[in-house]
Chain A
């Protein structure tokens, strides 16, 4: 591509709605497929997506780590617990071939899905994600919950930190005793009360600006030139995966 002007990685220029839909469909398809060649292609697709989203290998590895710790546990547990023909006997322990395959396939599926989600959805700003959901007719309440959470989480965190500081400057040092538990109880209680009050003030402020229970969206995403090839490539990929699995 001859697009020097925009340093933004290719995938990030795709419409958020298209990315969201692609990620969801990809996850479902990969989750139900079982053939090794299908899973291989899916994993490769995930890697390509991450590369197109311009994510560095270190960043990707850090995000994959927690998933793969769980996968490692499966890899140890499943071969020993799954039923089926044992392939190796180590003393009294039988290793089931089916179990090994099951664990490997779960690990590949998990990584492929996580890579795709990371590249397609993880690169969206949360407000963008909220809007994409709203435009895709996700339930209003859920979208608002997400957007309000984004907006006020930081504020709650600061409030909690302030209360904590207020306790600390008066010599509070947490330990494992009743005084500590009670103090934390008060802290959480106060945080809830403050949040409820703030909630009321926000509703008041919204009412003052004519809010009557309905949100209107200002931003409309526009499909751009990059969205067509993205839609074609991802559709071909999904259909290809399905055909490979069930032909």
Chain B
């Protein structure tokens, strides 16, 4: 099956009239493919990811996810079950008092039974080397731990696609190395946004740059 999982066609988007953020932006993500996107601050990288999960709607263009065009809020409910978005600030993502509850939040929303959710929580935390973190309080975690737990909350939903928004900001080099290993071991298709060329180099197969509202090819070594 080589149908793209995420496809954006000629997307226009603006927050304020007269100041377009995206203009005729195209992207195609195939199953299992990892695309790295670089670009300046405020060039619309985060906006792009939010358009894919329907937190924002384009002013023009088509959003096609898993082969279906998505327009209304209801269209995106399925998308959000199958596309995991890791936010730039882990504090936005972790809002439950304990790690276990936060990781369980997504699967519970998916309607899974409690016993199954417990298994998923344990498995996901184990997969990320966070075994034993279940009863830790989220607001007492360090920055690196928060990021990994946030990733766990996304992976616990068993998504087909991962959208990662600056996953390395504020992480120590050791944690970045661990994150790279983790991501490279995952089967999901990914869109990776980062300022860090070395990180993109280590994870992505295709490299794009967002400039002037559109995505352009970037040779893998600048």
Answer yes or no: A208 CB below 8 A from chain B CBs.
yes
**Given A206-B95, A209-B106, A210-B81 in contact, is the A201-B138 Cβ separation under 8 Å?**
no
List the one stretch of A18-26, A36-44, A211-219, A235-243 in contact with chain B. Answer: A211-219
Interface residue from A126, A198, A211 paired with B92 (Cβ < 8 Å): A198
Answer yes or no: A147 CB below 8 A from chain B CBs.
yes
Answer yes or no: A155 CB below 8 A from chain B CBs.
yes
Taking a contact as CB atoms under 8 Å apart, the answer to whether B55 and A210 are in contact is: no
Taking a contact as CB atoms under 8 Å apart, the answer to whether B97 and A147 are in contact is: yes
Q: How far is the CB of A135 from chain B (nearest CB, A)?
A: 14
- Contact string, A151-186, partner B, CB cutoff 8 A, digits 1/0? 110110000000000000000000000000000000
Interface residue from A130, A201, A216, A219 paired with B109 (Cβ < 8 Å): A216
Taking a contact as CB atoms under 8 Å apart, the answer to whether A210 and B117 are in contact is: no
User: Secondary structure at chain B's binding surface: helix, strand, loop or mixed?
Assistant: helix
Taking a contact as CB atoms under 8 Å apart, the answer to whether B87 and A205 are in contact is: yes
> Which residues of A are found within 8 Å of B81, using beta-carbon distances?
210
> Which residues of B are found within 8 Å of A85, using beta-carbon distances?
none
CA distance A218 to B115 in the complex (A): 9
**Given A130-B97, A151-B139, A218-B100 in contact, is the A208-B85 Cβ separation under 8 Å?**
yes
- Contact string, B86-113, partner A, CB cutoff 8 A, digits 1/0? 0101011111111011001110111000
CA distance A130 to B81 in the complex (A): 27
Answer yes or no: A204 CB below 8 A from chain B CBs.
yes
User: Secondary structure at chain A's binding surface: helix, strand, loop or mixed?
Assistant: helix
Interface residue from A202, A207, A216, A219 paired with B95 (Cβ < 8 Å): A202
By Cβ-Cβ distance, the 8 closest A-B pairs, closest first, are A127-B97, A210-B109, A209-B106, A216-B108, A201-B92, A218-B104, A205-B93, A208-B85
Contact residues on B (Cβ < 8 Å of other chain), bracket:
35 or more
> Which residues of A are found within 8 Å of B92, using beta-carbon distances?
198, 201-202, 204-205
CA distance A211 to B53 in the complex (A): 13
CA distance A198 to B77 in the complex (A): 22
> Which residues of B are found within 8 Å of A223, using beta-carbon distances?
none
> Which residues of B are found within 8 Å of A210, using beta-carbon distances?
77, 80-81, 106, 109-110, 157
Q: How far is the CB of B121 from chain A (nearest CB, A)?
A: 8
Taking a contact as CB atoms under 8 Å apart, the answer to whether B105 and A211 are in contact is: yes
Taking a contact as CB atoms under 8 Å apart, the answer to whether A207 and B108 are in contact is: no
**Given A205-B92, A210-B80 in contact, is the A151-B106 Cβ separation under 8 Å?**
no
Answer yes or no: A148 CB below 8 A from chain B CBs.
yes
> Which residues of A are found within 8 Å of B114, using beta-carbon distances?
218, 220
CA distance A126 to B98 in the complex (A): 11
- Contact string, B17-44, partner A, CB cutoff 8 A, digits 1/0? 0000000000000000000000000000
Quick one: closest B residue to A150, CB to CB?
A: B97
Q: How far is the CB of B177 from chain A (nearest CB, A)?
A: 26
Q: Can you name 9 A-B residue pairings with CB atoms under 8 Å?
A: A147-B97, A150-B139, A154-B139, A204-B55, A209-B109, A216-B104, A218-B101, A218-B114, A218-B121
